[in-house]
Structure 1
Amino acid sequence: MGPTAAERCFAETFVAPHWLPGGQAFWYRRQMSDGKYKFIYVDVQGKSTRPAFDHEALAVALAEHVQEQTKIDPEALPFSWIELEDSHVRFRFEEQIWRFEPVKGLSRCSGTFNQGNPTLMRRREPSAHTATSRPVTVTFINNTRSHLLLNYADHKGTVRPHGSISQGKTCFEKTYSGVCWRLEDGVSRQLRGVYRVPDKVHDTVIVDEVDVDEYLGKEGENPIGAPLGEGDVAQVQEHRKTQQDDDDGVVQSSEEDISTAPHISVRDKILWLLDEQGVESQLTEANSSEESYWNDKMIFLCPNKAFAIAWYFQEGTTTTEYWIKSYPHTQSHPKLLKDERRLAGDCPRIEQPRLFSLTLKQEIEVTDKDLFSNHYQLSHLGWAEDGSEYRFLYHGRGHKTFRILGITCAGLVRVLYEESSDTFIDIASKLYYNLLSNSNKLILASERDGYNHLYLLDLEQGKTENQITKGEWNVHMVEHIDEESNQIWVSTYGFYKDEDPYHRHLVQAKLYDTECKALTEGDGTHLWSWSPGESRQYFVDSWSRVDLPPQTVVRCLNGTMQLQVEGTSVEELRQQGWMPPERFHCLGRDGETLIYGTITKPTHFNPRRSYPVLEDIYAGPQDFSTPKSFQEAVDGNRDWREEDYVIVRIDGMGTNWRSKKFHDVCYQNLNDAGFPDRIIWITKAAESREWMDISRVGIIGSSAGGQNAASALLHFGHFYKVAVADSGCHDNSLAGIEWAEQWLGHPVNESYSQHSNVTHAAKLPDSAKLMLIAGGLDHAVSHFATMRFVQQLNKANKIYELVFLPDAGHSCGRCGYGLKRAKQFLKTNLWS
């Protein structure tokens, strides 16, 4: 079961460089075969690669020193991290630092040993996400030997599960500066590190294979050596409380030095002003509600210190969710767990920037508050250079309106930029803005021309100065901005017209032009990592496809290839038994738009046989799901390759990163899930592949894909016959506000019920075979969504199977007992 030895050998789609001082050379670990690897030294300037040291000699010397009875394998050395310096290598083994030189051999040495990613902390911390936080895209690259669990701490310090990153896979997270992410080993549940998002445009976090006991497990009280448990949340919350207690009293704005006057502080829920004469005045009355407060870190003085903006908040509303832990470790009887979460229809935190005159020592009434009322989110930008107005962003409730607003010192509100949509403005995956330093200019991402592009706004004039990028392709994220040279680097989808539009490429653009230049070449999806330093002289570029093993080169800043580092031919893998997925595309429902997907044959494929078709679906509108890289194809098919199905993965209309028109299909239309395109695609593919039996089509999915899988039987039961719906979002009125209202809008109305599987349960065909899987401790999608669906299926006297795993979490149908039951159900109903 699982990937072949050949696939495991070449599954590392990204060469993780560990740069040496000076940024002219690096080392990395090259996988030689399953479980074996060597350390490689890359001389970028000299355009050469070689082993980082004599692996054979070191293995012999190490065996002699530690008196091993068996030979140490030079391709399986007992360490995973090295330090290179001139002619010697240092490493850690058995709690000792060792030094190996070609002439002097092996010796113990003292000193420190720097191991692991320095951006990963060794302690738990809560997030510090405020309205001053700006959106940051983080690329997490899993170079470990197992999958990683990705959790985050919310603004209250509660640790929440978010998802996982498969071995060798890359995950792009749209997050905010100040947010803390927690990375755990998915097998041992040991913490790999805690990452706090920096205040920058984009960051890359490479989680490499290191000796966790050495790297993480030796700190004082060992605060992160244990799996996530109930006490973990309490510790983070206590840490947060301590921080808040320490912050009580006079706390000055981040834009003003507390040692100078005037400054404003919060005390006893009142704003106080200390003027230049040292006289303290009360600016506001005490808050009457425990849920209303001034944020002492959200006070901003204008440049001439005559005015200030102070942010006032009300918490909004949340919904209490409950779970029952059947077998808790702390007691013999079941335990009731609860949490507060903001669901669709709840009131977001109410935010209000309020204006104060520091000379008059009073608040100035702000007019036209309707321009920023009924908001989903407000975000701080700051004062204009001349202090004439304070600027902030407004995201309207329901995600149909976006504005940049300015409050003048007279309290007048003006619109500097406005954008609206009949469907939605995608802040879930495309929100990006960056205020250029010492200017009134802002870079903003927008889909206003039908694709996601960057625009340069002049906020003083309230107009668009330049469209930075343009064309029938999308900016995925901003990599770097060099304001001195007026250049910007972005990752893109669809830049090359003759390639799969989901392939990722690096592109260089200019702030005051529309000229764009691709810096990556090679028909595949690319991933890159820059050399250290502001100059970014080189970048390591790795790319692959589902039918092309990884290729890696080093490129100069202008895109010129410096040298090739890794590369495996298709022929080499085929000789080892590799059978790649097929890439296939055809026109969709409109007869104009190409729909892309993959076809994976069974491991023991016989072209004279006929096989059922099994679609693995995830039509969540926030992204696309069809694998594009070699590793994604290997990982995505590992559970089903031996099961004698033709596996198809497709991205129909309504999914992300094509045109805005393509994406808009999902709006208040989740029942659709691209099924008209999927059915056309599968039918067309089968026309030239007689071994695809489309009279036996099954479908599986988890989370949003679980909703999709069940929906396939309810609305397209003439085509799909069998479905396994795992952890499904069958009723999105129970979903988080950030997801549900982005795609279904606000208020919670008939669009929620009409696009709920619960409403349409009676439409399940009598001939359809449906299995529902749910976990009792699913904190991502409440299992009560499945139970509501079950209740209506019962009322309609429908036949189905329910697998409930009491203490299991999200996507429990993708592993363990849940996966076993799913496989059994599909075999019974697709092969009978």
Structure 2
Amino acid sequence: MDPTAAERCFNETFVAPHWLPGGEAFWYRRQMSKGKYRFIYVDVQGKSTRPAFDHDALAVALAEHVPEQTKIDPEALPFSWIELEDSHIRFRFKQQIWRFEPIKGLSKCSEAFRQGNPTLMRRQEPSAHTASSRPVMVTFINNARSHLRLSYVDHKGTVRPYDSISQGKTHFEKTYSGVCLRLEDGVSRQLRGVYRVPDKVHDTVIVDEVDVDEYLGKEGENTTGALLVDGDVAQAQEHQDDGSIAQLSEEDTSSAPHISVRDQRLWLLDEQGVESQLMEANTSEESYWNDKMIFLCPNKAFAVAWYFQQGTTTTEYWIKSYPQTQSHPKLLKGERRLAGDNPRIDQPRLFSLALKREIEVADKDLFSNHYQLSHLGWAENGSEYRFLYHGRGHKTFQILGITCAGLVRVLYEESSDTFIDIASKLYYNLLSNSNKLILASERDGYNHLYLLDLEQGKIENQITKGEWNVHMVEHIDEESNQIWVSTYGFFKHEDPYHRHLVQANLYDTECKALTEGDGTHLWSWPPGEARQYFVDSWSRVDLPPQTVVRSLDGTMQLKVEGTSTEELRQQGWTPPERFHCLGRDGETLIYGIITKPAHSNPQRRYPVLEDIYAGPQDFSTPKSFQDAVDSNCDWREEDYVIVRIDGMGTNWRSKKFHDICYQNLNDAGFPDRIIWITRAAESREWMDISRVGIIGSSAGGQYAASALLHFGHFYKVAVADSGSHDNSLAGIEWTEQWLGHPVNESYAQQSNVTHAAKLPDSAKLMLIAGGLDHSVTHFSTMRFVQQLNKANKVYELVFLPDSGHSCGRCGYGLKRAKLFLKTNL
């Protein structure tokens, strides 16, 4: 396979549209070759594409204003963002805004200009994730020249790096309104922007090249949070904001009656202008959130104020061996909620403004043992206040209402013997001016949308139905009662992990696919309410991106980009092979891909190397062309057959398929994986399944080691990088979702630490851990090591003192992993 041809093909066909006002045209940057770009204008109504301007003429004109350059390459213009209007464009260069038009040529411009995505800001603030925060799906499109570093800014302002987005890649992030995310250039660490998640269902962020100093301000300027210094997570000063989301509550705060929080007391300003105290906190560990978490009923006779008690956290430590700020090692300290810790206890409390006192709420036990409570709001007639209850252990979900008399009623209830997946499937949306709520649920075995009548406390309609899943809600039009959703498995003849856009109706179960083409789809809508057209791009691991523009009913308007598989084959590219077969139950198809060595010889037999993740929150096998190009890029020149598989226990198939993981993480779909690899090898003589190795990072690191402990008859060699070998050391949000609460024997049974003595004497195991891993601390690996030592087992340990998470995927860690596999596999 020629991976260079595949990478070049993706870059040359990747379309990140920048819609113009009205939603009838857009521009994008087309890569001509490495480092070479042209701006393309797409006229949807006219069904045509053309250069957005005369690149050659602009290059000549611009060179006259740059004394140090005699010539500017028209395909390497020194800007990446334009504003296009009629026949002219504007752009920013050398701290100046310029205007270029065909007849008048180039001139300086004083018109206002906003470079980059307006959703990005320079001010870094602590995240504000509260009970009023909504689940939001954010699509990040990296149109910059390098990969992006994605960090979470916590409620104290501490920056916590946790993911990266490859150049040209689309990344889906399930998060909550009020969360603050920081985007940095993955190479230079320059700030690309700070993003505050809005209070909406879905948002798209396109990250382009921007002049950081001009557009966002110099690094660290005007920020209230922490910055990365010397690789440490620098602590911000304690922020005055207690973590509330910056949004208006349901009252008009400019008029009486008005309720506010001051000095841990709740104060009422009545209509006569008299202020009185309603309630005070009992201890320093208790408090009302703040004014934004106080909600007046429509007639302003009652109010609900959210009250909380701090939960418990566990202190974690790391040692930085070579800090730049001192000559001796530095102790770093952090707090995190682990499995078994107590989450913050929230409580909506009811007050009568006429009586100026609290109304005692009966049946508080209905929502006392919770993992999370979420605000919904008052009924239209003010008869009750509503909120969502997620039970501790994730087996119970309810919508509750508190009447003005303090009585609690259950408006909706759902339970599971295993788990209710709020980690990836929680979605709810209250329709405006109504008592109706759209809710996602797996109650029929697949993730679908339901319309609830909260007044009657019943399901009014199942909006979507079938043996497929709603992934996320894209848009709701309440006037037409239509809803647009992203789906998995909509077409039975396709790979069930292919993503398609589907239109549904609120009051029936009729659904229509708006995208077509055998592949996984990505689409882009114009901003605002202009939704006549959308850009649809789709691909597969064996099909380069194809991009068209469609009208709102799915009709194709014009083709924008696309390269055939045959064109790439002629350049020496051999695509990964898609393969599926029946799994352990003899009924369910298991899907994966097979990638041959770059310079494979049909006369040779190659060892099989499985790259595993298997985290139950998602699936991990690449489905798009770019994911396949990125996948295993470090192993292309090695002599292994690389396989990626999604066995039972992973996400986005049926609920039954997913439930396999519950309190059963050791399984990791291995029975299905072994069958899949065996069946694939039956018709591929070049796959030598007497030599099967496995590699993985994070949860994949846990499972790579687990493969030797529990399935050592099949897997012979494993590299376990940054493995969560002991999930009792993992965050509460991940561990309790899949292992439940309270912490019981299942935690120990699903830990590699417990089973260390089962490592076969013939097995070859390498463990890699980073001393500054804030995602999965290296102590998880060290506990495993301790038990391996007690059992007199032989293994290799690579400890990288000042490295972070997944350090075995790059640099020295990757070098050691490759050497280990070459020696043993």
**Distance (Å, rounded) in 1 between the aligned partners of 2:665 and 2:100:** 61
Does structure 1 residue 748 correspond to structure 2 residue 719?
A: no
Q: SS in structure 2 opposite 1:26?
A: strand
- Contact preservation (8 Å) 1:537, 1:556: yes
- Counterpart residue number, 2:664: 669
- Contact preservation (8 Å) 2:266, 2:288: no
Distance 1:100 1:184, change over 3 A: same
Distance 1:317 1:207, change over 3 A: same
- Contact preservation (8 Å) 1:141, 1:205: yes
Does structure 1 residue 53 correspond to structure 2 residue 53?
A: yes
**Distance (Å, rounded) in 2 between the aligned partners of 1:135 and 1:429:** 10
Shift of 1:260: 1.9
Does structure 1 residue 659 correspond to structure 2 residue 654?
A: yes
Q: SS in structure 1 opposite 2:677?
A: helix
Distance 1:659 1:231, change over 3 A: closer
Q: What's the CA shift string for 1:246-281, capped at 9, x where partnerless?
A: x9xxx9972212232222222222222222222222
What pairs with 1:67-146 in structure 2 (closer than 5 Å)?
A: 67=67, 71-146=71-146
What pairs with 1:463-542 in structure 2 (closer than 5 Å)?
A: 463-542=458-537
- Higher mean C-alpha deviation, range 685-694 or range 53-62: 53-62
- Higher mean C-alpha deviation, range 649-658 or range 550-559: 550-559
- Counterpart residue number, 1:376: 371
- Counterpart residue number, 1:777: 772
Shift of 1:726: 0.4
- Contact preservation (8 Å) 2:448, 2:464: yes
Residue 712 (structure 1) aligned to one of 703, 707, 714: 707
Does structure 1 residue 460 correspond to structure 2 residue 455?
A: yes
RMSD: 2.2
Distance 1:144 1:775, change over 3 A: same
- Counterpart residue number, 1:620: 615
Q: What's the CA shift string for 1:734-758, capped at 9, x where partnerless?
A: 0000000000000111100000000
Shift of 1:132: 0.9
- Contact preservation (8 Å) 1:98, 1:109: yes
Shift of 1:724: 0.4
Does structure 1 residue 445 correspond to structure 2 residue 440?
A: yes
Shift of 1:219: 8.5
Consecutive unaligned residues in structure 1, runs of 5 or more: none
Shift of 1:157: 2.5
Distance 1:286 1:369, change over 3 A: closer
**Distance (Å, rounded) in 1 between the aligned partners of 2:157 and 2:220:** 22
Does structure 1 residue 276 correspond to structure 2 residue 276?
A: no
Q: What's the CA shift string for 1:587-634, capped at 9, x where partnerless?
A: 000000000000001111111111110000000000000000000000
Residue 400 (structure 1) aligned to one of 383, 395, 399: 395
Q: What's the CA shift string for 1:154-198, capped at 9, x where partnerless?
A: 223322222122222222111111111111111111111011111
Distance 1:208 1:69, change over 3 A: closer
Q: SS in structure 2 opposite 1:428?
A: helix
Matched residue type, 1:60: V
Distance 1:231 1:569, change over 3 A: closer
- Higher mean C-alpha deviation, range 362-371 or range 589-598: 362-371
Q: TM-score, normalised to structure 1's length?
A: 0.96
**Distance (Å, rounded) in 2 between the aligned partners of 1:226 and 1:760:** 40
- Contact preservation (8 Å) 1:707, 1:757: yes
Aligned length: 824
**Distance (Å, rounded) in 2 between the aligned partners of 1:573 and 1:478:** 35
Q: SS in structure 2 opposite 1:10?
A: helix
Q: SS in structure 2 opposite 1:129?
A: coil
- Contact preservation (8 Å) 2:298, 2:381: yes
Shift of 1:6: 4.3
Q: SS in structure 1 opposite 2:293?
A: strand
Percent of pairs with identical residues = 89
- Contact preservation (8 Å) 1:474, 1:495: yes
Matched residue type, 2:147: H
Q: What's the CA shift string for 1:486-530, capped at 9, x where partnerless?
A: 010000000011000000000000000101000001100000110
**Distance (Å, rounded) in 1 between the aligned partners of 2:384 and 2:97:** 58
- Higher mean C-alpha deviation, range 99-108 or range 194-203: 99-108
Does structure 1 residue 149 correspond to structure 2 residue 149?
A: yes
- Counterpart residue number, 1:324: 319
**Distance (Å, rounded) in 2 between the aligned partners of 1:225 and 1:578:** 46
Q: SS in structure 1 opposite 2:817?
A: helix
- Contact preservation (8 Å) 1:5, 1:33: no
**Distance (Å, rounded) in 1 between the aligned partners of 2:199 and 2:745:** 41
Q: SS in structure 2 opposite 1:488?
A: strand
- Counterpart residue number, 1:35: 35
Shift of 1:233: 6.3
**Distance (Å, rounded) in 1 between the aligned partners of 2:164 and 2:220:** 29
Shift of 1:231: 11
Does structure 1 residue 721 correspond to structure 2 residue 721?
A: no
Q: SS in structure 1 opposite 2:56?
A: helix
- Counterpart residue number, 1:20: 20
What pairs with 1:307-322 in structure 2 (closer than 5 Å)?
A: 307-322=302-317
**Distance (Å, rounded) in 1 between the aligned partners of 2:611 and 2:468:** 27
Shift of 1:321: 0.6
- Higher mean C-alpha deviation, range 268-277 or range 666-675: 268-277
Distance 1:4 1:70, change over 3 A: farther
- Contact preservation (8 Å) 1:12, 1:143: no
Distance 1:409 1:69, change over 3 A: closer
Does structure 1 residue 298 correspond to structure 2 residue 311?
A: no
Distance 1:118 1:670, change over 3 A: same
**Distance (Å, rounded) in 1 between the aligned partners of 2:127 and 2:787:** 40
- Counterpart residue number, 1:787: 782
**Distance (Å, rounded) in 2 between the aligned partners of 1:210 and 1:268:** 44
- Counterpart residue number, 2:422: 427
**Distance (Å, rounded) in 1 between the aligned partners of 2:54 and 2:413:** 62
- Contact preservation (8 Å) 1:552, 1:567: yes
Shift of 1:75: 2.2
What pairs with 1:504-653 in structure 2 (closer than 5 Å)?
A: 504-653=499-648
- Contact preservation (8 Å) 1:161, 1:780: no
Q: TM-score, normalised to structure 2's length?
A: 0.96
Q: SS in structure 1 opposite 2:786?
A: helix
**Distance (Å, rounded) in 2 between the aligned partners of 1:470 and 1:146:** 41
**Distance (Å, rounded) in 1 between the aligned partners of 2:113 and 2:262:** 46
Distance 1:655 1:280, change over 3 A: same
Matched residue type, 1:121: M
Matched residue type, 2:700: G
**Distance (Å, rounded) in 2 between the aligned partners of 1:479 and 1:504:** 13
**Distance (Å, rounded) in 1 between the aligned partners of 2:113 and 2:232:** 29
Shift of 1:7: 2.3
Q: SS in structure 2 opposite 1:437?
A: coil
Distance 1:575 1:174, change over 3 A: same
- Contact preservation (8 Å) 2:125, 2:224: no
- Counterpart residue number, 1:347: 342
**Distance (Å, rounded) in 2 between the aligned partners of 1:434 and 1:468:** 13
Q: What's the CA shift string for 1:775-797, capped at 9, x where partnerless?
A: 11101111100000000001111
Residue 702 (structure 1) aligned to one of 697, 700, 717: 697
Does structure 1 residue 263 correspond to structure 2 residue 258?
A: yes
- Higher mean C-alpha deviation, range 448-457 or range 197-206: 197-206
Shift of 1:26: 1.1
Distance 1:415 1:286, change over 3 A: closer
Shift of 1:719: 0.5
**Distance (Å, rounded) in 1 between the aligned partners of 2:171 and 2:405:** 46
Distance 1:13 1:135, change over 3 A: farther
**Distance (Å, rounded) in 1 between the aligned partners of 2:512 and 2:732:** 39
- Contact preservation (8 Å) 1:216, 1:224: no
- Higher mean C-alpha deviation, range 260-269 or range 22-31: 260-269
- Higher mean C-alpha deviation, range 362-371 or range 412-421: 362-371
